[in-house]
Amino acid sequence: MIKYLSQEQTKLIYKSRAWLTPLILFALIMIAFPLSIDLFGKQTSDLFMIIIVISLLLTNYLAIDDILLEDYEDGSFEQFLTQNRSLFSSVLAKLIILIIYKALPLSLLTILFASVNNVDAFIFLDLFLISFFCQILFLNIFLFGSALGINKGGLLGLIVVMPLVFPVIIIFGQSLTLLQNNSSIDSFLLLSLGISFLITPMFSYLSSLILKMHLE
Amino acid sequence: MSNKIINKFASAKTYIETCDKYFLFVFIPSIVLIIAGWSWGIFVAPPDAVQGDSYRIIYLHVPSSIYAQLIYWIMAAWSAIYLIWKVKLAAYLTKSAAFVGLLVTFLALFSGSIWGIPTWGTWWQWDARITSTLILFLMYLGLIALHDSFNNQNKADNLMSILTIVGCVNLPIIKKSVDWWSTLHQPASITLTDNPSIDPAMLYPLILCIVSFGFVLISMGVLVSKIIIFNREKNRNWVKNYG
Amino acid sequence: MSNLIEVDNVHYSINENNLIRGISFELKKNEICHIQGVNGSGKTSLLKIILGIVEPTKGVVHRKENLNIQFHGHKLPFKGFLTLLQNLKLILSEDELIDAQKVLEELDLHEKLNLRFSNLSFGQQKKSFFASKLVIKNTQVFVLDEPFVGLDDSTTKFFQEKLQKRVNDGAAIIITSHIPISMPAKTINI
């Protein structure tokens, strides 16, 4: 597993374009949105809460983009199969690297922009955790989608998994509202932690199963 | 061994032959019953005290909303059968049910929007049940799009079945999550346990409509599945010799 | 089992179209199997069945236990954004890497080791990937799908010699090729 992880890490590090794109897009959205509204009339912190889930959704869709596609098109997956390497492990490794190298920096950026938009400092930790778990779920679902639509482009995958995304958006949107009203969301965070741990191997397994079907 | 027995009795050929034999027994009642149900509901049933005549769209709206979800559960059952026993017929039926489900869900949304204009003053509202029905509509659409995007049909069957089952797990989650929103929709009027909160004079035609809608959908599903099966098995001898 | 691979009456069909109808052969050590057939006759599908990526519709493929197969197909799984050396490091062990560098030197590619893979020409890409496959130790079977397409005559000859050497050392080869091969091979028509 360590070997898989380090391989995927090497691939991602040298592909700076893929690594930077979601981060830059996220920063651009965050810079652009206050400009589009009347800055003095409204509370930017309220609007920040509204826009955060959607911008995470967009950036994560972009982040997953060609994570599987590249290895599918250049025949790497076929090589894995013929060399008795586990497809599941390599998909899981990809996902974990993605979470560490993309979701984590994005969560940090979330905090940065939260402070820019006058969000109260004492909810920063909760906000960080919410955006992190939210992204883990998004990445899992989009991974599944990109595995499903791997030979027909990303849009098919997006359409197919959209119904899975909606509940995540609703629930995390609600949790942000609760957070804004100073309610405690510790139990929700605990639940998200549990779900993230469960869903990551599960969706990696499903995706590897689907990939194997696509290779036939 | 058991696979062989199942495949023999659940072959597409046996299915088509059975359907041909009994189709009229479903089709004729479906036409008669739907006409009876709708004319009873539209011409005989009394107008609503609050909503006047506009409520009569429930004779389309309620049956289609009920079947919109039911069909998905049926599809999930067929997908499970396909994945476990590799019965091809189950995959064909899943695909046909997806088309019927798409149509019914669209009808539910469409009739609901029409009903919404006089009662709520708007044709769309981000209400819990409307949203979940919309998501269901997208699920049917996604399943069909996924299946149609493959050249290798067996692969498409496999993926569609997996996705149907994943979506089936997702359905209760969607329901719970949209219930978080404060809901505008009236609570279900007819339940199996409580006394119905609807006048019997309106209820009986509604029940008739629900039953007849079931018949209509079954005959529609049979027709769609016939098209799909003939398309998929066109190189088989039994199809070439058919009719 | 003395045979490395036994293909037993394999059938394969896509959407009820029969592509492969009843192929049987076996592969022993030091043997080369040349699979011939017109375009679209199912050569690549047969190779995928032999590799175990695709399940045959009917029939079975027996592979010797823990068989070490190397597959070289139409696609080059090296990453364009990594240098050739980095790519080699991803799939080769240290010893193999030294061997690979020797082979690359014979092919005049050792100067390109620190270039990005996408900056090499198609022929160079193909050569370097083929070379990396050839040096992998303990390989019992090479499965090669049109390996000589896009290579010039002298390179084709070079690789055939290398392959012949591996075969003499105990490996076996299953190959499809429209370019005639000079190695002694048994021919299978599909």
- Model confidence pLDDT, tens digit, residues C42-100: 888 888 888 888 888 888 888 888 888 888 888 888 888 888 888 888 888 888 888 88
Q: Which residue segment(s) compose the domain that A95 sits in?
A: 2-215
Number of domains present in the structure of chain A: 1
The residues of chain C that CATH labels 3.40.50.300 are: 5-68+138-189
**Contacts with C15 from chain B: Cβ below 8 Å:** 151-154, 232
Q: Does C77 touch chain A (CB under 8 A)?
A: yes
Task: Give the torsion sign (CA, A197, A203, A205, A207).
Answer: negative
B56-94 pLDDT, tens digit per residue, is 888 999 999 999 989 999 999 999 999 998 888 999 999
More confident residue, A132 or C73: A132
**Nearest by CB: B139 against A151, A163, A167:** A163
Instruction: Using the CB atoms, write b or e for C166-175: b if 16+ within 10 Å.
Output: bbeeebbbbb
* C residues 4-23 closer than 8 Å to B (CB): 14-17
**Nearest by CB: C73 against A11, A14, A75:** A75
Q: Which CATH number fits domain C5-68+138-189: 3.50.50.60, 3.40.50.300, 1.10.8.60, 3.90.470.20?
A: 3.40.50.300
Give the number of other Cβ atoms within 10 Å of residue A89's Cβ: 16
Domain boundaries, chain B: 13-186+199-240
State which amino acid sits at residue B125.
Q
More confident residue, B21 or C185: B21
- Give every CB contact of residue B154 below 8 A, 6+ residues apart in sequence: C14, C15
Rounded distance, CA A56 to CA A131, Å? 8
More confident residue, A178 or A194: A194
- Give every CB contact of residue B17 below 8 A, 6+ residues apart in sequence: none
Strands C5-14 and C17-27 turn out to be antiparallel
- Verify whether the Cβ–Cβ distance A74 to C70 is below 8 Å: no
Rounded distance, CA A21 to CA B98, Å? 37
pTM of the model: 0.87
Spatial CA neighbour of A101 closest among A47, A140, A63: A63
Spatial CA neighbour of A207 closest among B166, C49, B138, B98: B166
- Subunits next to C (3 or more Cβ pairs <8 Å) are A, B
Q: pLDDT-derived band of residue B124, with 50, 70 and 90 as boundaries?
A: confident
- Verify whether the Cβ–Cβ distance A78 to C71 is below 8 Å: yes
Rounded distance, CA A79 to CA A82, Å? 5
Computed over every residue of chain B, the mean pLDDT equals: 85
A145-169 pLDDT, tens digit per residue, is 999 888 877 788 888 888 888 888 8
Distance from the C94 Cα atom to the nearest Cα atom in chain B, whole angstroms? 40
- Give every CB contact of residue B69 below 8 A, 6+ residues apart in sequence: B136, B171
Is B182 within 8 Å of B127 (Cβ atoms)?
no
DSSP code at position B47 = P
Three-state DSSP state, B154: helix
Q: How far is CA A199 from CA A139, A189, A204, B153, B169, in A?
A: 10, 15, 8, 29, 13
Q: pLDDT-derived band of residue A143, with 50, 70 and 90 as boundaries?
A: very high
Q: pLDDT-derived band of residue A198, with 50, 70 and 90 as boundaries?
A: very high
Closest residue of A to C86, CA-based? A10
- Verify whether the Cβ–Cβ distance B170 to A171 is below 8 Å: no
